Amino acid sequence: MTPKNFRLLVASIIILMQLIFAGCKNQTTQSVNRDPVISAFVASTNQVQLPDTFTVTCNAYDPDGDSLLFNWGCSGFLAMQGAPETEPYVLENSKHRTVTFYSPSALVEPADSITISCGAMDGKGGSASTHIVLPLRHQ
């Protein structure tokens, strides 16, 4: 190999290495969004009476530190504080981790239990959900 060809080979290798390293520096790593975690879902009562007022708390956190919004739902005969009058059993995009529920003094349809559900969302596609079933005590 002639000295001229050797210098050309070395220069080509150096240029190639610079391009490879420059490409590595410009690559961005995308972080993976993790789902929120619901650590506890607790009612202030272990059974619901008619009429009754009670609270349910959804203790949740996001491992990425994102703020959370909550979607709450419940059996159709209950009402939630802060829910719209047209749909008192649905509360969407709430910042509240604790919600107050109200049961009526009488039921239109018979029921033995009520179900309350909650979903926690981080606004980046991550979500977690849970529910609780509480027995209904008839007078």
Residue 75 has a pLDDT of 86
Asked if the model's pLDDT at residue 67 lies above 90, the reply is yes
How sure is the predictor about 90, in pLDDT bands with cuts at 50, 70 and 90? very high
Same domain for 6 and 64? no
**Alpha helices in the chain, H assignment, sequence order:** 3-26
Residue 81 sits at the vertex; the CA angle it makes with 79 and 45, to the nearest 5 degrees, is 70
How sure is the predictor about 106, in pLDDT bands with cuts at 50, 70 and 90? confident
Same domain for 60 and 14? no
How sure is the predictor about 76, in pLDDT bands with cuts at 50, 70 and 90? confident
Asked whether 42 and 31 are in contact (CB, 8 A), the reply is: no
User: Domain residues for 100?
Assistant: 37-137
CATH number assigned to the domain comprising residue 114: 2.60.40.10
User: At 113, which helix (H) or strand (E)?
Assistant: strand 113-121
